[in-house]
Chains A and B, each alone.
Chain A
Amino acid sequence: MTSVLVGVDVGGTNTDVILIDGESEETYKLPTTDDPSKSSALGVKEIVEQTDIDPGDIDTVLHGTTVGTNALIENEGAKTGMLTTQGFRDVIHIGRHRKAHTFSIQFEQHQQARPIVPRRYRKPISERIYPPGEVVRPLDEDEVLTATEELVDDGIESIAICYMHSYLDTTHEDRTKELIQEHYPEITVSTSNEVVNQFREYERFTTTAINARLAPVMQSYLDRFEQRLEGHGFGDAEVLIMQSNGGMASVREVNKKPITTMLSGPAAGVLSGQFTGRQADEEKLITLDMGGTSADISVVPGRLLERDPRDSKIANYPTVTQMLDVETIGSGGGSIAWFDDAHGFNVGPKSAGSNPGPACLDQGGQQPTITDAQVALGRIDPEDFLGGSIEIDPELSSEAIDDQLVGVVEGDPFATTERAALSTLEVANSNMYQSIREQTIRRGYDPREYTFVAFGGAGPMHACDLAEELKMDSVLVPPSPGIASAQGLLTGDIQYDNQVTVSQRLSRVDAETVEGRVEALEKRGIEQLKGDGIDIDERAELHHSVDMLYEGQGYELNVEYDGTDGDWRSRLRERFEDKHETEYGHYFDEDPIELLNIRVRATAESIPYEPTTIERGGEDPSDAYKRNSEVIFGDSRAPKRLDVPRYEREALVAGNVVEGPAIIDEFDSTVVVNPDWEATVQPNGAIKIHYTGENQ
Chain B
Amino acid sequence: MSTDESERQRGLLEERELDPVTLQVIGGEFDTIADEMGNKMIRSSFSSIIRESEDLGSGLFLRDGREIAESDFTPMHVGSLPGYLRGMFECIEERGQTVEEVTNPGDVFFHNHPYYGASHSPDVAVIVPIFVDDELVAWSADTAHILDIGTATPGLAIDLYDMYAEGQLFKARKVVSEGERVEEIWQHIRDNTRTPRMNEGDLEAMISAAEIGKERYLELVDKYGQETVKQAGEDLMAYAEDLLRSKIRDLPDGEWHEVGYLDDDGRNRDERIKIDVKVRIEGDDLTVDLTDSNDQVPTGFNCPVDGATKVAAYFTVRALLMDTYVHDEYIPQNSGTFEPVNVETRKGSIYDPEPPAAAYARINQVDMMGDLIMKALRNAMPERVMAGTCSQVFFTSYSGPDPESEGDEYWVYLEVNDGSYGGRPDKDGVDCVGALIHNTRNRPTEDIELSHPMRVERYELREDGHGAGRHRGGHGVCRETTFLVDTVMSTEGDGKHHTPWGAFGGKEGAGAGMYHLRTDDDGSDAVFYSRRDRSPDQMEFGDEVDEVEELYTKVTGYAFEPGDHFIVRSAMSGGYGDPYERPVEQVYNDYRDDLIDADTARDDYGVVIENGEIDREATRKLRGN
Most-contacted residue by chain B among A90, A137, A349 (CB, 10 A):
A90
Most-contacted residue by chain A among B24, B74, B447 (CB, 10 A):
B24
Q: Which B residues touch A411, using CB under 8 A?
A: 19
Among the listed stretches A99-107, A179-187, A453-461, A492-500, which one makes contact with chain B, having 4 or more residues with CB under 8 Å of it?
Answer: A99-107
Q: Which A residues touch B456, using CB under 8 A?
A: 87
Q: Which B residues touch A350, using CB under 8 A?
A: 328
CB pair A434 B28 closer than 8 Å: yes
How long is the Cα–Cα vector from A591 to B45 in the complex, in angstroms? 13
CB pair A99 B450 closer than 8 Å: no
CB pair A102 B384 closer than 8 Å: no
CB pair B593 A119 closer than 8 Å: yes
Q: A102-B78, A554-B51 are known contacts. Are A344 and B325 too (CB-CB below 8 A)?
A: no
Among A124, A201, A552, contact of B198 (Cβ-Cβ < 8 Å): A552
Q: Which A residues touch B433, using CB under 8 A?
A: 97-99, 109
Contact with A along B27-49 (1 / 0, CB 8 A): 01100100010001011111110
A437 interface hit (Cβ, 8 Å): yes
CB pair B436 A409 closer than 8 Å: no
Q: Which A residues touch B324, using CB under 8 A?
A: 101-104, 107
Size of A's binding interface in residues, CB under 8 A: 77
The closest CB in chain A to the CB of B328 belongs to: A350
CB pair A120 B592 closer than 8 Å: yes
Smallest Cβ distance from B374 to chain A, in angstroms?
8
Among the listed stretches A423-431, A476-484, A533-541, which one makes contact with chain B, having 4 or more residues with CB under 8 Å of it?
Answer: A423-431
A586 interface hit (Cβ, 8 Å): yes
CB pair A86 B531 closer than 8 Å: yes
Q: A106-B384, A119-B595, A552-B47 are known contacts. Are A584 and B205 too (CB-CB below 8 A)?
A: yes
CB pair A107 B446 closer than 8 Å: no
How long is the Cα–Cα vector from A136 to B212 in the complex, in angstroms? 46
Smallest Cβ distance from B341 to chain A, in angstroms?
14
Q: Which B residues touch A442, using CB under 8 A?
A: 36
Interface residue ranges of B46-61 to A (CB < 8 Å): 46-48, 51-52, 54
Interface residue ranges of A651-694 to B (CB < 8 Å): none
Q: A105-B424, A344-B243, A345-B20 are known contacts. Are A130 and B198 too (CB-CB below 8 A)?
A: no
A389 interface hit (Cβ, 8 Å): no
Q: Which B residues touch A107, using CB under 8 A?
A: 323-325, 430
Interface residue ranges of A530-560 to B (CB < 8 Å): 550, 552-555
CB pair A102 B72 closer than 8 Å: yes
CB pair A90 B430 closer than 8 Å: no
How long is the Cα–Cα vector from A130 to B446 in the complex, in angstroms? 9
B103 interface hit (Cβ, 8 Å): no
CB pair A344 B323 closer than 8 Å: no
The closest CB in chain B to the CB of A555 belongs to: B43
Contact with A along B87-118 (1 / 0, CB 8 A): 00000000000000000000000000000000
Q: Which A residues touch B32, using CB under 8 A?
A: 434, 437-438
How long is the Cα–Cα vector from A519 to B24 in the complex, in angstroms? 53
A298 interface hit (Cβ, 8 Å): no
A108 interface hit (Cβ, 8 Å): yes
Q: A87-B529, A346-B24 are known contacts. Are A99 and B43 too (CB-CB below 8 A)?
A: no
What are 22 A-B pairs with beta-carbon distances under 8 A?
A: A88-B458, A96-B441, A97-B441, A97-B442, A98-B440, A99-B439, A101-B324, A105-B384, A107-B324, A118-B589, A164-B446, A201-B444, A340-B243, A342-B242, A343-B13, A434-B29, A550-B46, A553-B201, A555-B42, A555-B51, A583-B44, A586-B204
- The 9 A-B residue pairs with the shortest CB-CB distance, nearest first, are A340-B329, A554-B51, A552-B46, A87-B458, A107-B325, A342-B243, A119-B593, A345-B20, A584-B44
Identify 18 new A-B residue pairs, CB closer than 8 A, beyond the known A94-B460, A99-B430, A137-B527: A87-B529, A88-B458, A98-B54, A98-B433, A101-B324, A102-B73, A102-B324, A104-B319, A106-B386, A108-B427, A120-B589, A124-B531, A136-B455, A344-B24, A346-B24, A346-B328, A503-B450, A591-B201
B: residues with CB less than 8 A from A are 13-14, 19-21, 23-25, 28-29, 32, 36, 40, 42-48, 51-52, 54, 72-75, 78, 197-198, 200-201, 204-205, 208, 211-212, 239, 242-243, 246-247, 315, 318-320, 322-331, 333, 374, 384-386, 418, 421, 424-427, 430-434, 436, 439-442, 444-447, 449-450, 455-461, 477, 480, 524, 527, 529, 531, 589, 592-595
